Amino acid sequence: MAGRPAALNKRLIQELHKTRQEDNPALTYLAPPDDSDLHHWRAGLRGTPDSPYEGGVWDIDIVIPDNYPLAPPTIKFITKICHPNINIKTGEICLDLLKSEWSAAYTISSTMTAIQTLLTSPEPNSPLNVDAAALLNDGDTMGYESLVRYYVWRYARKETDL
């Protein structure tokens, strides 16, 4: 934590405490994997109920910049996931909130909720996964959902195993 802005460390500690007090249904956990670095967090993101992602849990990597909350964190999926707006190889997420629509009012927890919402509200016209986007753009919802369910089965941790 040395060398980092004290106000930022204070905000991150407050966010951690608030996250532990509230029960965010999108998350199984949200915390730094190492107590010595408040600027690197991990999260377990639940699949959205009543969706092809239901029952899955994905590990997420979160890197918080020194100018947070004025700049967004860098967030990516560690666990493979099939979604038009998530790069299947790198885990990069295409979400305006993580770029041009970022506001200092967002927290890490609220950002994770927005990412969970993205799972059921894909934007196939801004794809990072062109194969998943093509299925949706071609109107093949059944094919898309089958592919998503396969990735949930193959790669996601199961909510029932937690």
pTM of the model: 0.93
Tell me the C-alpha to C-alpha distance, in Å, between residue 126 and each of 2, 35, 36, 132: 39, 36, 37, 11
* pLDDT attached to residue 10: 94
User: Could you list the active site residues?
Assistant: 94
* pLDDT attached to residue 3: 58
Please give the domain boundaries of the chain with CATH numbers for all domains. Answer: 6-161 (3.10.110.10)
25: exposed, middle or buried (Cβ count in 10 Å: 0-12, 13-18, 19+): exposed
Distance of alpha carbon 89 from alpha carbon 86, whole angstroms = 9
**Token reading at 4:** 């980092």
* pLDDT attached to residue 1: 46
Say what the alpha-carbon torsion angle 108, 112, 95, 142 is, to the nearest 10 degrees. 180
What are the mean pLDDT values of the chain's consecutive 10-residue runs (162 residues total)? 76 93 93 91 96 98 97 98 98 97 97 97 95 98 98 95 77
Those residues with Cβ within 8 angstroms of residue 135's Cβ, 6 or more apart along the chain or in another chain: 141, 143, 144, 147
**Token reading at 126:** 């801004």
Tell me the C-alpha to C-alpha distance, in Å, between residue 135 and each of 31, 141, 150, 156: 35, 7, 15, 21
Counting runs of H as helices and runs of E as strands, what totals does the chain give?
4, 5
* pLDDT attached to residue 45: 98
**Token reading at 102:** 């970022």
Those residues with Cβ within 8 angstroms of residue 74's Cβ, 6 or more apart along the chain or in another chain: 62, 63, 65, 98
